[in-house]
Amino acid sequence: MQTVYLTEDGKKQLEEKLEYLRTVKRPEVTKRIGVAREFGDLSENAEYDSAKEEQGKLEAEIAEIEAKLKTCVIIDKASIDTSKVSVGCTVKAYDEDFDEEVEYTIIGSTESDPAKGLISNESPVGSALLGKKKGDSVVVKTPVGELTLKILEIRA
């Protein structure tokens, strides 16, 4: 599994979600399976099949969250090196194609929200900016075409 970058808040949210899935959702699904079993023949029992499918998805989600929490790296704003772009940095750049300044905070994919300027380190823009320095220009290949960004500022 790839390294998962999380803020302290992001880690807390994942832990809360995991607790909810384990203590609320899992018992609900188990109860649905029990009720569906009472309907009789399991080979033609749509309620049972549906509940078992939901259980499989739930257990997969629990396992995924557990794995993320085990391998996560917490983004520590205090120790971010702003001499180059790294996860946790906020980057102000000039978008040459649209003649405007843009700002992105590079975080892990679990917490990304492009509409708020929070982009994943795995996204086309995020991965292109990683390791670059103030003054560097990068050409980013995106699904809608190429984008040229000149880095104006890097901050924690």
**Domain covering 77-155, topology:** Chitinase A; domain 3 (3.10.50)
pTM assigned to the model: 0.78
Mean pLDDT by 10 residues, the chain (156 residues): 87 97 97 86 81 96 96 91 95 94 95 94 95 97 91 96
Q: Phi, psi (5° rounding) for residue 88? A: 105, -15
Task: Classify 4-74 by CATH class.
Answer: mainly alpha
Segments of the chain assigned to CATH 1.10.287.180: 4-74
Segments of the chain assigned to CATH 3.10.50.30: 77-155
Contacts (Cβ under 8 Å, ≥6 apart) of 148: 95, 96, 97, 137, 138, 139, 140
